[in-house]
């Protein structure tokens, strides 16, 4: 909440710096719309299908969604611009699509938004500098944990081996599966 | 209660313990009175009460008025306090005849935790403040929180889960304080832990469902910090539920189990801190202020106390572990714990990383769904794999022949699942791996059931359905656990499918115009408006076609609440077992409703998330039910061992009978 408040003025300024943010209801073109919207005549389902199956268009949609899913909506809480229906997000989605259509790579589009909003706009931190911590540490923890567990298990296993060879038979040699069954049976009675 | 409980524990004087027990009842009675008073104040719109003046309004329907008790900070803490006192009283009641040295200590610890919350309620967060002059009406609860009936289920379930985890924590501390560090504390809290875990699971799934039905972006899990906060204790509690079995059977992992349950408790506190302090940007963080530092201080206090007590009792905690073989059930549990802890660590790191970076160099970064999905998919897949291996591995040790016998069918089923996924059209690597392991796990679970039923039939000479019922009631914990596993597998598969194969379009349609999405056609019919008591609704009507056949209408809407500038959307969903069609109204022609912009999403397999959640709940209920005898004359242990032997242990020398 407090962070929201801190960001609100900035985002508002940015929002208005987008010329097309104050979207007029008339003639608004939703991003990702395959079919041309200019025509007033109702379109048939068939028209739509041909537009949808245009592979280039579908590919652009998919790439735009991929990029948009990684950009944070500046006026929402924890949503990507793909998920948000705020005007600003939808405008940003349109920009993403246009830039991709103009031949920019996803990285270039991301860089553009980073230059405008700062690194904060990326929902997945760039893997450099201090951010490497967030990528490396889980792997390190998992590996260390694995090594630790392996050593411990081996130690226990060798302790167990010593015990069995010393104690030879006795209750320790009871079959594992009947041990389970005996337990169940005992619980039952 | 705290003082007398702990003092009573040390001195073992029955009088003091009795006072502590009545103290627990008294606290519960007092909290119930407070709760009921607040509910009455809310329902009668007594705006002289500060909390009612803040979240109540004359227009809010009674159901949402009643549940607005947990729609804001003070009420939530009151509710929390009530549940905590209820658990306290229940623990005291259940153990009233117990001679155990643990119970008084545990009661004392619960009382101590309670003191913190009751202290908050009476000082900083008193919901019963007086308001003067008395307002004529209030703003009503946060619109997001009065938009869907699931709000009546999701928070209480989470709270029952969160607060319920105090019980095993209290017993763990009780074990440390009393020095009775054997398996007793685990045995006496086993059902409490499973119950709390089940509440937490249901709460999380209900939260996902709520988010899906209300927030309108077609997703159910956003890795929001507060979602993570509920997920973190779930992860450690799940690890705990597994690792205690090692201690119960083998007496190993004592310190580890204590650490896990205390970490779980700390994570519930941390979650509450995240939610209630507003330190992170989140839908849930509806407040800010002084209680953040108070929570941090309390967390620190618990941590320091815990470290002190562990150090104090370290001599009694040392248990030399022995293992017969590295490949065994024990090892699979240890690996399970490793993965769960690594998962917890990663989610915790990701959630708090923006704060850490900002503290270190002042930069602001975001860690969002793309990061969490990237890290959680591999860990989740490994856990799924273990879920298939673990139950099929026997305790202590195994032999290659047994391994082959146990895993042949599951491996085949797993491979068949991949093939099936491939034939149906899946080409992505992670979903295919998920299908393989899911098939593998389901096959091992089925095998376990078959084995149990077959053994039961031989012993008791009953038909298969009766045998099934008997193993479910006699060994409800184990088979309930398998049912939970099956539910989790269903959820994971649904996550893999819906996460990979969802597709959507956003289109502006003129009246009468249609759009196509997958097998669906959607025709925009009209925009309508309706003034309801508490809100103004602008809705739209769409006719839905499936493969050319009209199958119904969907009415996504936007709701305008007096206390919210932004409209709150209500998506409309058409569910089938295969997939959901999910429509959100994004914009509409405000003059004469001639056009509307909708987002249409085809969300495959989503209903299976909720079904999986219900299976998990069912399994958990089964597992916490008291164990019953089968009602037939008791068969002697030796008889069972003998009748079991030929089939199960054909390759082993005759077992030594007890």
pLDDT digits (tens, 9 = 90+) for B143-188: 777 778 888 888 899 999 999 999 999 888 888 888 777 777 888 8
Nearest CB neighbour to A160, from listed B222, B324, B512: B324
Q: Domain boundary residue among B592, B607, B622? A: B607
8 Å CB contact of B366 and A171: no
Average pLDDT over residues B194-220: 90
* B233 pLDDT above the threshold of 90: yes
Confidence band of B3 (pLDDT split at 50, 70, 90): low
Helices (H), B95-129: 102-122
Please tell me what DSSP assigns to residue A130.
Answer: G
Confidence class for position A112, pLDDT limits 50, 70, 90? very high
Contact A173 B656 (CB under 8 A): yes
For chain B, helix (H) and strand (E) counts, in that order, are 21, 10
> Residue B555 is part of which domain span?
508-607
**Residue B585, phi then psi, degrees to nearest 5:** -80, 120
Third-level CATH fold of A2-124: Helicase, Ruva Protein; domain 3 (1.10.8)
Query: Does residue B168 belong to any structural domain of this protein?
Result: yes
Per the domain annotation, does B379 fall within a domain?
no
| B222 and chain A in contact, CB less than 8 A | yes
CB nearest to A119's CB, from B217, B365, B506:
B365
Say yes or no: B358 contacts chain A, CB-CB below 8 A: no
CB contact under 8 A, B507 and A33: yes
B50 compared with B310, residue with greater pLDDT: B50
Q: B21, B96 in Cβ contact below 8 A?
A: yes
**Number of separate domains in chain B:** 2
> Do the chains contact at A156 and B516, CB–CB below 8 Å?
no
**Contact A156/B323, CB-based, under 8 Å?**
yes
- With CA atoms as reference, the chain A residue closest to B339 would be A142
With cut-offs at 50, 70 and 90, classify the pLDDT of residue A184. Answer: low
Measured between alpha carbons, how far is B638 from A186 in angstroms, rounded to an integer?
Answer: 10
Instruction: State the CB neighbour count (10 A cutoff) for residue B126.
Output: 15
For B24-43, what is the mean pLDDT? 87
Residue A164: its chain B contacts at CB < 8 A? 324
- Domain boundary among the residues B591, B607, B623 is at B607
Residues of B in Cβ contact (< 8 Å) with A133 = 349, 353
Tell me whether residues A160 and B224 touch, CB distance under 8 A: no
Distance (Å, whole) CA B11 – CA B108:
13
- pLDDT of the residue at B320: 61
Measured CA to CA, the distance from residue B301 to residue A108 in angstroms comes to 48
- Which residues of chain B are within 8 Å of residue A140 when distances are taken between CB atoms? none
pLDDT for residue B628: 56
Q: Tokens 């249609």 label which residue? A: B514
What span, in angstroms and rounded, lies between the C-alpha atoms of A74 and B451?
56
For chain B, the straight-line distance linking the first and the last C-alpha, in angstroms and rounded, comes to 46
The per-residue b/e assignment along B237-256, b for 16 or more CB within 10 angstroms, e otherwise, is bbbbbbbbbbbebbebbbeb
**Residue B522 within a domain:** yes
| % of residues, chain B, pLDDT over 70 | 88
Distance from B20 to chain A by nearest Cα, in Å?
32
* Closest CA in chain A for residue B371: A124
Domain definitions of chain A by residue range: 2-124, 131-188
**Listed residues B259, B280, B311: the one ending a domain:** B311
CB contacts of B283 in chain A (<8 Å) are 77-78
ipTM confidence: 0.78
Q: Is the pLDDT of residue B368 over 50?
A: yes
Give me the residue from B326, B637, B658 closest to A153, CB to CB: B326
Put simply, the answer to whether A159 touches B323 (Cβ < 8 Å) is yes
Helix (H) or strand (E) holding B463: none
Cis ω for the linkage preceding B113 (within 30 of 0) = no
Q: What is the pLDDT of residue A23?
A: 33
Select from A6, A8, A38, A45 the residue whose CB has the most chain B CBs within 10 Å, as the one to mutate to test that interface: A45
The band of B489, judged by pLDDT with boundaries at 50, 70 and 90, is very high
* Residue whose tokens read 């998506």: B571
Report the distance separating Cα B417 and Cα B437, nearest Å. Answer: 8
Chain B hits for A25, CB-CB cut-off 8 Å, are 587, 589-591
B518: number of Cβ within 10 Å: 16
Q: Dihedrals φ, ψ of B352, to 5°?
A: -95, -5
What's the angle, vertex CA B559, arms to CA B553 and CA B561, rounded to 5? 165
Does residue B563 belong to any structural domain of this protein? Answer: yes
pLDDT value at A8 more than 60: no
Tell me if B523 is assigned to some domain.
Answer: yes
Angle at A55 between CA A51 and CA A59, to 5 degrees: 110
Cβ <8 Å between A40 and B510: yes
Q: How far apart are CA B184 and CA B241, in angstroms?
A: 15
Q: Is the pLDDT of residue B395 over 80?
A: no
Count CA atoms within 13 Å of residue B253 on its CB side.
28
Residues B218 and B225: beta-carbon distance below 8 Å: no
What is the band of B400 on the pLDDT scale with cuts at 50, 70, 90?
A: confident
Whether residues B649 and A141 touch (CB distance < 8 A) is answered with no
Assign A179 a pLDDT band (cuts: 50, 70, 90).
Answer: low
Residues 429-488 of B with CB under 8 A from A: 455, 474-475, 478
CA B197 – CA B164 distance, rounded (Å):
8
| Distance separating alpha carbons of residues A128 and A136, to the nearest angstrom | 11
Q: Are B275 and B284 in contact (CB under 8 A)?
A: yes
Query: What is the mean pLDDT of the segment spanning B38-47?
Result: 88
In a domain, B129, yes or no: yes
- Report the distance separating Cα A126 and Cα A109, nearest Å: 14
CA distances from B481 to B207, B274, B616, B640 (A): 23, 31, 9, 23
Position B292 pLDDT exceeds 50: yes
Confidence of residue B407 (pLDDT cuts 50, 70, 90): confident
Confidence of residue B609 (pLDDT cuts 50, 70, 90): very high
The sign of the CA dihedral B254, B255, B258, B261 is negative
Q: Do A159 and B645 lie within an 8 Å CB cutoff?
A: no
A32, A70, A161 ranked by CB distance to B506: nearest: A32
Q: Of B138-152, B302-316, B432-446, where does mean pLDDT reach its minimum?
A: B302-316
Shortest CA distance to B252 belongs to which of B179, B183, B171?
B183
The predicted pLDDT at position B13 comes to 54
Residue B601 DSSP SS3: strand
By Cβ distance, the residue of A33, A123, A157 closest to B508 is A33
Which residues of chain A make contact with B520, given a CB cutoff of 8 A? Answer: none
In sequence order, the 6+-apart residues with CB closer than 8 A to the CB of B655 are A174, A175, A178, B641, B645, B649
What is the C-alpha separation between B442 and B436, in angstroms, rounded? 10
Q: What is the three-class DSSP state of B507?
A: strand
- Phi and psi at residue B380, to the nearest 5°: -60, -40
A-B Cβ pairs (cutoff 8 Å, strict): 235
Task: State whether A120 and B365 contact (CB < 8 Å).
Answer: yes
* B355 in reach of chain A (CB within 8 A): no
Contact list in B for residue A131 (CB cut-off 8 A) is: 357, 365
Residue B345 scores a pLDDT above 80? yes
Highest-confidence range of B29-38, B232-241, B410-419, B464-473, by mean pLDDT? B232-241
Nearest to A30 among B278, B366, B597 (CB): B597
């Amino acid at each position: 909440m407090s962070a929201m408040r801190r960001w609100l003025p900035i985002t508002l300024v940015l929002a208005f710096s987008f010329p097309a943010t104050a979207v007029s209801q008339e003639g608004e073109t939703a991003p990702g719309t395959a079919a041309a919207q200019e025509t007033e005549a109702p379109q048939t389902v068939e028209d739509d299908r041909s537009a949808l199956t245009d592979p280039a268009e579908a590919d652009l949609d998919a790439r735009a969604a991929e990029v948009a899913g990684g950009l944070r909506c500046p006026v929402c809480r924890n949503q990507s611009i793909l998920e948000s229906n705020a005007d600003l997000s939808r405008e940003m989605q349109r920009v993403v699509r246009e830039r991709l259509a103009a031949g920019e790579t996803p990285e270039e589009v991301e860089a553009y938004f980073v230059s405008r909003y700062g690194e904060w706009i990326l929902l997945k931190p760039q893997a450099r500098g201090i951010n490497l911590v967030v990528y490396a540490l889980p792997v390190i923890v998992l590996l260390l944990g694995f090594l630790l567990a392996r050593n411990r298990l081996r130690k226990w296993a060798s302790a167990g081996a010593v015990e069995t060879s010393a104690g030879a038979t006795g209750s320790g040699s009871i079959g594992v599966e009947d041990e389970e069954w005996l337990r169940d049976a005992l619980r039952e009675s | 209660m705290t003082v007398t409980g702990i003092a009573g524990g040390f001195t073992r004087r029955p009088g003091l313990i009795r006072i502590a027990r009545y103290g627990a009842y008294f606290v519960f009675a007092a909290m119930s009175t407070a709760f009921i008073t607040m509910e009455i104040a809310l329902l009668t719109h007594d705006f002289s009460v500060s909390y009612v003046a803040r979240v109540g309004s004359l227009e809010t329907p009674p159901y949402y008025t009643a549940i607005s008790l947990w729609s804001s900070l003070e009420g939530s803490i009151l509710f929390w306090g009530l549940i905590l006192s209820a658990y306290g009283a229940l623990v005291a009641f259940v153990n009233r005849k117990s001679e155990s040295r643990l119970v008084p200590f545990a009661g004392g610890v619960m009382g101590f935790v309670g003191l913190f919350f009751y202290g908050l309620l009476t000082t900083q967060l008193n919901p019963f403040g007086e308001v003067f002059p008395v307002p004529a009406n209030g703003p009503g609860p946060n619109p997001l929180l009065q938009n869907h009936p699931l709000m009546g289920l999701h928070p209480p379930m989470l709270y029952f889960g969160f607060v319920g985890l105090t019980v095993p924590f209290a017993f763990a501390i009780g074990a440390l304080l009393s020095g009775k560090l054997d398996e007793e504390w685990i045995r006496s809290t086993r059902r409490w832990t499973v119950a709390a875990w089940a509440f937490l699971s249901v709460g999380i799934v209900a939260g996902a469902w709520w988010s899906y039905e209300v927030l309108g972006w077609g997703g159910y899990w956003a890795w929001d910090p507060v979602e993570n906060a509920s997920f973190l204790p779930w992860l450690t509690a799940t690890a705990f539920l597994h690792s205690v079995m090692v201690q119960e059977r083998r007496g190993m992992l004592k310190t580890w189990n204590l650490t896990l349950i205390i970490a779980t408790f700390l994570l519930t506190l941390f979650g509450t801190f995240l939610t209630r302090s507003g330190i992170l940007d989140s839908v849930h963080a509806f407040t800010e202020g002084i209680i953040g530092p108070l929570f941090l201080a309390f967390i620190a206090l618990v941590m320091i106390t815990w470290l002190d007590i562990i150090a104090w009792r370290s001599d009694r905690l040392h248990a030399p572990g022995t293992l017969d073989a590295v490949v065994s059930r024990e090892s699979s549990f240890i690996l399970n714990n490793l993965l769960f802890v690594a998962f917890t660590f990663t989610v915790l790191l990701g959630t708090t990383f923006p704060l850490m970076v900002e503290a270190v160099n002042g930069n602001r970064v975001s860690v969002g769904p793309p990061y969490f999905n990237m890290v959680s998919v591999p860990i989740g897949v490994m856990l799924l794999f273990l879920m298939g291996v673990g139950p099929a591995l026997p305790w202590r040790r195994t032999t290659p022949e047994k391994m082959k016998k146990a895993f042949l069918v599951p491996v085949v089923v797993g491979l068949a699942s991949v093939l099936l996924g491939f034939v149906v059209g899946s080409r992505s690597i992670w979903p295919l791996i998920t299908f393989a392991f899911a098939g593998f796990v389901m096959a091992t679970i089925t095998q376990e059931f078959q084995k149990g039923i077959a053994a039961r039939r031989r012993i008791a000479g009953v038909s298969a359905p009766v045998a099934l019922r008997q193993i479910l009631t006699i060994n409800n914990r184990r088979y309930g656990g398998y049912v939970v596993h099956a539910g989790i597998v269903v959820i994971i598969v649904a996550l893999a499918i819906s996460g990979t194969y969802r597709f959507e379009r956003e289109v502006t349609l003129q009246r009468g115009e249609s759009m196509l999405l997958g097998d669906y056609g959607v025709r925009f019919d009209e925009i309508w408006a309706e003034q309801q008591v508490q809100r103004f609704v602008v809705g739209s009507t769409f006719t839905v076609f499936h493969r050319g056949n009209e199958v119904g209408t969907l009415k996504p809407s936007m709701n305008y609440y007096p206390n919210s500038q932004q409209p709150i959307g209500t998506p409309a969903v058409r569910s089938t077992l295969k997939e959901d069609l999910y429509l959100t109204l994004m914009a509409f022609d405000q003059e004469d409703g001639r056009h509307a912009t909708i987002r249409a999403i085809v969300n495959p397999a989503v209903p299976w998330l909720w079904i999986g959640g219900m299976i998990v709940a069912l399994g958990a209920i089964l597992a916490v039910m008291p164990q019953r005898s089968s009602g037939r004359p008791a068969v002697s242990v030796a008889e069972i061992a003998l009748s079991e032997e030929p089939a199960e242990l054909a390759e082993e020398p005759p077992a030594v009978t007890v």
